[in-house]
Structures are given as structure tokens and as C-alpha cells.
A and B are shown apart, each in its own frame.
Chain A
Amino acid sequence: MKSDITFGQYVEGNSVIHRLDPRVKIVISLVYIVAIFLAKSVTAFILLTVSSAVFVVMTGISPRLILRSMKPLLFIIIFTAVINLFFMTGENPVFEWRFIHIYREGIINACLIVLRIVLLITATSVFLTYTTTPLALTDALEQLLSPLKKLHVPVHEFSMMMTIALRFIPTLIDETQKIINAQTARGADFTSGGLIKRGKALVPILIPLFISAFRRADELATAMECRCYTGGEGRTRMNTLKSKPKDWVFFFCILLLTAGIVLLNIFFPLYTVLK
């Protein structure tokens, strides 16, 4: 369990998208999300769906994996679809029975909303969670947000906290397992009983875990001080992120795509129903 833990959902790979500058990936996904929200017409959605499919193919990650990441959101997807289907009013009734009125606009709207959510999940998976390690994301965020340091936002401190938290996840999982084993050896029972009993059984795991985590934090702080850590001031980095030409090419493609969607909304407003 412990030795194979992967952080987040990162899928090992060496595709173009994997190798993009993580800062560019963050910006790209933001722009792409904006594009998804700007899309109002069926034509724009066709463009988005095709481009998303192209990105998925480029990452080399199996589409099944991406579909699986939608599972936790299945309820929300169905719920919004149903709401749109029944409560959207329009001019072309398709089906009427007592208090249920379904209009053609409602059906199209429901489909597009579902498509929108699916596209949002795909975009963030493809650009961020599946192709970028959390460490790379932390580094990229620190550099992207570094202008905020002038406003006294502790950007470096937050990113250092993230780095350390990520570093200690496997260590603490290991430790939890050791404590569970130790308590089980003393006769503790974590697997039977109702919710309350099981919740109470966690206390003898959590208390030692917290005590040890605090002790670790204390020792780590001493060790960092010994290694001349004094905060972000005057610190340099060994691996600075450098954007390459292909990062810029990708970025401009996404900008073009967004512009295309706006144009499609205006000039080919086929079935423009989304508000």
C-alpha cells in the first residue's frame, strides 16, 4: 500500500503535453475553461469537443481513464441535466403530460450542459491532474504568483508548505500503518461495530499520529534552520522553469481556439440556447 502510492492522479508519460512548461499548462487550462464557458452554440461545442479529443489523444492516456475520473461527478451531471430538461421553457414543446413540459430547447440545453461539464473535467485532467506532478504544479504556482509577493502575499511560504506536505504524505501513511499495527497487536479493533464505535476506535490512532507529526515538524524546522533556511528572501532555485518555443506555440493555439469560439458564437449561432 505504502510503497506504490502515487501523488494525486498523475499518469507517468512522455507526451508533448507532459513535457509542456507547467506554468503554461496552468494558464492554458484557465484560458480553455474560459473558452468552454464562452461557447454558446452547437457549432462552438463541436469545435471544443474535437479539440479536447485531440488533446486526449496527444497525452497518450486512455480515454477510459478520463471517463473514470468523471464517476464521482456523475450525480451532479445527471442532476443538472434533469433540472435543465424539465425546467427550461421554450417555444417548441416536444412532450407534455400533466405538469411535465419538455421543450426542444430544454433537451438541447441539457445536452450542452452535460457536454460542458464533461469538457471541463477533460480539460483539467488532460492539462493538470493527469500530466503534471503536484510538485511541478507547486513550483509553477509559486513562479506564476510571485508578482503577488510585492503585495506581501506569502507566496513562497505557501509553496514551501505544499512541498513539505507532499514530501510527508508517504512518511505519515507509513507511520499510520505502524500505529494501526501496534494498536491491533494490543487488541484494538478497527473493523467491527457501528459508525460511532469505529469513529471512537480511530482516536488511539490519531493521537499518536498527531504527536509524532508535531515532533517531526519540530525536528524538520531545526534541520531546515541548520541548512541556512531563512525564508524566501535571497533564495535561488536549482531548477528554474524555462518556457520553450513549443510552449508558446501551444499557448497561441489555445488563444486562437478561444477566438474561434467567440467568432462561431457570433457568425454561426446554430441552436444558441445557453444563457
Chain B
Amino acid sequence: MKPIIKAENLVFTYPGDEEQKPVKALDGVSFEIPEGSFTAILGHNGSGKSTLAKLLCLINLPDRGRLWIDGREMTADDVTEAEILAARREVGMVFQNPDNQIVATIVEEDVAFGCENLGLPPAEIRRRVDEALADVGMTEFARNPSYKLSGGQKQHVAIAGTIAMRRRCVIFDESTAMLDPVGRREVMDIIEKLNHEEGITVLIITHHMNEAARADRILVMNGGRIIADGSPSAVFGEPERMWEAGLDVPQTTEFAYKLRELGIKVPLDLFDPADCAEAVAKAVLEKRGGARREAGS
């Protein structure tokens, strides 16, 4: 499939000042994001993942390297302001702190903000806002003031704002980090729905291994580079590598890994606790059965 984002050797350095040395946040990052895919970017603090997100949203431009959004090279010398704005229409971002990305006091007016910026006719904005609010299940809160909502609900509003703009790609920059477990699960469900039902390309940046395991593909970053790239089974299939990079693996994988050390053969890539439990039960039974057979013979 045609990539919506293509990066080649991206380098980005935060300029230093008298007190701070310049920080090289990205050091040669290359990848392709096919349209309609669901990718997770993992990495500990300072690994460059949020810097990468800002480059992909064209808030910053890379110092070196090339970046294509929807087939157009954004790092080309002849790229115009209008083309960058057009690319920003396609790639949106939902941030970590729900309070700092809501512009208007009333929920539906905030959802409309992006569409208003696009200069759409009022009737069209109305229709899109109603649809977007229905998509995230917030219709009943349309006329409510946003400050009375919970953190998870505020993120729903932010997501509705980006759905209403009909974006083809949405980047979630640790959008669940400040939420309670219930809010986190609800937001992840909506993200998954966006990807599966609407075909929107999704990139999530996260610390939560279980969230990353829900993606089709994981990019692991460390020290401004991509150190692993593959399906969740492939990436978490080598837990040693993740631990070396200062990262965790899902609890089920860690559990399975420890059981394997004890000689119980359990697959590492079962991320759902119920599946994992079943596999463990089966493996234990098998082992016991094997032991019995040995004793019998």
C-alpha cells in the first residue's frame, strides 16, 4: 500500500543555549507508514519519540533527512507554506494533556474549531461535528462546558475534533498517559475503532506495553534511533532486547518468559491475560502428563 508517511534518515537537534548543550533528539530515523496501518512507537523518556511526532505533524522540520507526507516531500527546497498547511490537514495529533489542547469552553465549539480553521461552510461544520461527537459517544455532552468533563472525556472531545477534520492519519502522543485505567481503555477502544472501521492511519506513542501490543506494528526507539521494528509478537518475542533498551514487555510476556526459564513452554506473544492463562494451564498439564508418562515407563 502507498505510504502516507515516509521518513528517510531524519536528524533533529534541539538548539542549546548558555545553560544547556544542544541535544540530538533524532539521529537518523527511517521508516514508512502505510495508509490504514496501526503503529505504536515505544521508547523511554528522552528516546526521541515525541520529537518524531512533532516532525511528522510538521510543527518542526528536520535538520537533515527527508520526509514525505502523502507523497509530497516536505523537506524539499521548493515546498510552499500552502503545501505544508495542506499536509497538516491530513496528519493530526492528539496530545498528552487534555486541558492544554481544548480551545473553546463549549464541547461542540471546540470540536468545530479545526473545521472552522479549514473555512468550511457552517452547515457542513454542523454536520461533521454532530457525526464526530456521535462517533466518540459524546453527543449528550455537546452543549456542556469542557472543564466539567473527566480527563478521558476531554480526550474524547480532542479526538472528535480531529475526526471532524476528516484526517487520514492521527498521531496520539501519549494521549492516555494522564488518564485513569477506565479512561485509558475507553480512549484505546476509540483509537482502535478509528483504525478498523474508518480506515484512519493511527500512530500511538506510548509507555504502556499493553497498548502497544494492540497495534499491528511496533517501532522501538532508543537514543534517537529505531532499534526494533516489527509486529508485537516479533518485538516482544525478544524480551532481552527490550530490557537492554530500558523498556518493559507486557506482563504476560514477562510471565511467559520466566516460565520458559523454568522449562514450561509458553508462547511469548499472548498479550491477553485470559489467552495467556489458558496457554499456561495447557503447558502445565502437558508437562505434568509428560512427567507421569516418564514415571510410568
Q: Which residues of A contact B (CB under 8 A)?
A: 3, 135, 163-164, 166-167, 170-171, 174, 216, 219-220, 222-230, 234-240
Contact = CB atoms under 8 A, between A and B. Distances in A.
A235 B117 contact: yes
Given A238-B109, A238-B122, A229 B59 contact: no
Contacts of B118: 228
What 4 pairs across the A-B complex have the smallest Cβ distances?
A223-B101, A219-B100, A238-B112, A170-B147
Contacts of B89: 228
Nearest to B105: A167
Contacts of A239: 109, 112, 122
Interface string B99-135: 1111111101100111111111110011001000000
Q: Specify the main secondary structure of chain B where it touches its partner.
A: helix
B88 interface: yes
Contacts of A225: 59, 88
Given A227-B161, A228-B117, A167 B102 contact: yes
Nearest to A227: B114
Q: Give the interface SS of chain A, mostly helix, strand, loop or mixed.
A: helix
A163 B104 contact: yes
B268 interface: no
B178 interface: no
B92 interface: yes
A225 B165 CA distance: 14
B23 interface: no
Contacts of A229: 113, 117
A238 B88 contact: no
B221 interface: no
Nearest to A225: B59
B198 to A, nearest CB: 18
A164 B122 contact: no
A216 B97 CA distance: 9
B136 interface: no
B126 A222 contact: no
Contacts of B115: 238
Contacts of A230: 85, 117
Interface string B185-221: 0000000000000000000000000000000000000
A234 B162 CA distance: 19
Nearest to A171: B99
Given A219-B95, A219-B97, A227-B114, A235 B105 contact: no
B57 interface: yes
A152 B5 CA distance: 39
A236 B103 contact: no
Contacts of A226: 57, 59, 88, 92-93
Contact of A236 (B104, B120, B147): B120
Given A219-B95, A236-B116, A135 B106 contact: yes
A226 B54 CA distance: 9
B148 interface: yes
Contact of A237 (B116, B147, B165): B116
A174 B115 CA distance: 30
Given A227-B113, A228-B118, 11 more contacts: A3-B148, A135-B106, A163-B103, A219-B101, A222-B59, A223-B93, A228-B85, A236-B121, A238-B116, A239-B112, A240-B122
A3 B113 CA distance: 24
